[in-house]
Amino acid sequence: MSVLFELNDVSFGYKERRILHGISLILESGTFVGIIGPNGCGKTTLLDLLIRHRKPDGGTIRFRGKALEEMPRRALAREVALVPQHFYIDFPFTVKEVVMMGRYPFMGRFDTPSEADEDRVRDVMASTHTRRFSNRLVTELSGGERQRVVFARALAQDPDVLLLDEATSNMDIYHTLRLMKSAAQRVSKEKKTIIAVMQDINLAAAFCNVLVFMKNGSLVAHGPIRETLDSKILKAVFEVDSHVYYESFTQSMKVAFRQ
């Protein structure tokens, strides 16, 4: 593994409110990272900083040893893709056209998709179960279907780093597990990196190997899941009692919460 992102004393906020406070964190390549914390703790903002949708007002972020702010956006788009929690588009593009947008960082301004681009889009649409409505307008899809299309667009980009912002929140359990398994396989087989904001701790426990816990814009804990998925850390972050145990059916750690 090698250092992918290095955050040093990173802060971000607006005039009326601070969102992140002095985050120092190293994220390594070839890992499945789950970012976990209460609503409003800064998880999505952290992803926005990693993909340069926002700029920190304090501290530094480095990507593969280089200052992130100095990277050309097109170059960054070839390596990092984001699947947002909410995807809005008013123009009636077809599903295939939206997925093909993932190939734009690799195409010239006036280029048409190559055969390789078409093959890539066809493959990811098959793997995300979106190929059957490739000619439908994205504006006519359900929330879960639209989310799968955005996931497919990110996979079409074939990034080394995939950022997921509660990317399965609108999906049923079948497609959630299918896409999370696909993401995990990219880590294990292709040495890709997944950094995912997640609300479902048991889903994170099933697929992630590294956890980042946040609260009130600050880092609480970070490290391998066997060290950080702990009832004391969960109590500090969520203020609830829990029991962490190994579940043989899923062959993963599980968390039970006491009301």
Secondary structure in 3-state letters for 159-176:
CCEEEEECCCCCCCHHHH
**109 and 133 fall within a common domain:** yes
Select from 158, 179, 209 the last residue of a domain. 158
**253 and 165 fall within a common domain:** yes
Average pLDDT over residues 204-215: 96
**10 and 72 fall within a common domain:** yes
Q: Taking the C-alpha atoms of 42, 206, 154 and 52 in order, what is their torsion angle to the nearest 10 degrees?
A: 20
Select from 114, 133, 158 the last residue of a domain. 158
pLDDT digits (tens, 9 = 90+) for 244-253: 999 999 899 9
**In this model, does residue 152 exceed pLDDT 80?**
yes
The model's confidence at residue 9, banded by pLDDT at 50, 70 and 90, is: very high
pLDDT digits (tens, 9 = 90+) for 42-69: 999 999 999 999 999 999 999 999 999 9
**166 and 202 fall within a common domain:** yes
- Cα gap 152→129, rounded to integer Å: 9
Q: Where are the alpha helices (DSSP H) in 128-230?
A: 143-156, 173-190, 201-207, 225-228
**In this model, does residue 258 exceed pLDDT 90?**
no
**pLDDT at residue 193 in the model:** 96
**152 and 166 fall within a common domain:** no
Please indicate, yes or no, if residue 182 is contained in any of the structural domains. Answer: no
Residue 27 tokens, joined: 């994220």
Residues 6+ apart with CB under 8 A from 212: 25, 33, 34, 35, 36, 219, 221, 222
Which residue segment(s) compose the domain that 7 sits in? Answer: 1-79+160-170+192-259
Asked whether 59 and 10 are in contact (CB, 8 A), the reply is yes
pLDDT digits (tens, 9 = 90+) for 135-147: 999 989 988 898 8
Select from 101, 133, 158 the last residue of a domain. 158
Q: Which residue has the higher pLDDT, 113 or 59?
A: 59
- Alpha carbon 165 to chain centroid, angstroms: 5
**165 and 143 fall within a common domain:** no
Report the greatest alpha carbon distance in the chain: 58
Q: Which residue has the tokens 């681009």?
A: 117
- Cα gap 37→238, rounded to integer Å: 7
- Angstrom distances, CA of residue 5 to CA of 8, 13, 30, 47: 10, 20, 12, 11
**Considering the chain, what percentage of its residues have pLDDT values greater than 90?**
73
Asked whether 136 and 142 are in contact (CB, 8 A), the reply is no
Domain containing residue 211: CATH number: 3.40.50.300
**71 and 88 fall within a common domain:** no
Residues 6+ apart with CB under 8 A from 252: 205, 206, 246
- Cα gap 182→155, rounded to integer Å: 10
**22 and 67 fall within a common domain:** yes
Average pLDDT over residues 27-56: 95
Please indicate, yes or no, if residue 154 is contained in any of the structural domains. Answer: yes
Please indicate, yes or no, if residue 184 is contained in any of the structural domains. Answer: no
Please indicate, yes or no, if residue 166 is contained in any of the structural domains. Answer: yes
pTM: 0.92
Mean pLDDT for the chain? 92
pLDDT digits (tens, 9 = 90+) for 99-108: 999 888 888 7
**245 and 165 fall within a common domain:** yes
**165 and 244 fall within a common domain:** yes
Domain count within the chain: 2
**pLDDT at residue 246 in the model:** 95
The model's confidence at residue 14, banded by pLDDT at 50, 70 and 90, is: confident
- Cα gap 148→151, rounded to integer Å: 5
Please indicate, yes or no, if residue 227 is contained in any of the structural domains. Answer: yes
**pLDDT at residue 84 in the model:** 87
**63 and 139 fall within a common domain:** no
The model's confidence at residue 165, banded by pLDDT at 50, 70 and 90, is: very high
Please indicate, yes or no, if residue 187 is contained in any of the structural domains. Answer: no
**50 and 166 fall within a common domain:** yes
Please indicate, yes or no, if residue 176 is contained in any of the structural domains. Answer: no
Please indicate, yes or no, if residue 220 is contained in any of the structural domains. Answer: yes
Average pLDDT over residues 198-226: 96
